Amino acid sequence: MRLFIGIELPEQIIAELHSLQNLLRKKVRRGRFPSKHNLHLTLQFLGETSENRIEDIIRLLQTVAKVNSPFKLSFNAHLGSFGHKNPVRVVWVGVKGEMEVLLQLQTSIVGRMQELGFPAETRGYHPHVTLARDVDFIDKDFLLDQEEGEFDIGQLSCFNIDHFCLLSSNVEQGKRIYNIVETFKLIDTDTK
């Protein structure tokens, strides 16, 4: 079972990001665009995992949820990328807002998962939502030359994060599908 831990996005935000993907499609010759139902913010990728380990993962993630508070996020004003050649490996939009709380949550998750033998990423955590992969831009300098407000990313709504999820990644009928295995509600520590 291929697992990861992530943050589901509110329906309104998914709709806004999907519109952003559609605008981006007009700027490319080709690329792979995740289904709008698969747009999310990854906290940790666990990879192929035996089903008999899920109970332990859930137990430790429940302890993480109990000591982390809800928080607010919004999006950065410009698109970013991993890989600077054309085609670009990943085009993403980054998040901003209560980053200290997000980073505390992500660090807590990674620490608890290390107890179960899941390694931490060697690269630093860079919170983002992937909009497209293997993107061949019509204008190879497009990402460098984005016009202010061209995609109205700054207009995307601020949103509340009050839970995170353990998700499975499966291929069904040739398409990648993410399914929720378990949801973990963040506890408002100010009201305990």
| Active site amino acids | 40, 128
Distance CA 136, CA 27 (A): 9
DSSP 153: G
Torsion angles phi and psi, residue 27, rounded to 5: -100, 0
Helices (H), the chain: 11-25, 54-66, 99-115
Torsion of CA 159, 162, 166, 170, to 10 degrees: -30
Query: Taking a C-beta distance cutoff of 8 angstroms, is the pair 49, 167 a contact?
Result: no
- Tokens for 156, please give them: 């995307």
Residue whose structure tokens are 């690329």: 31
- Tokens for 44, please give them: 């940790």
Using alpha carbons, list the distances in angstroms from residue 86 to 54, 119, 137, 141.
39, 31, 7, 9
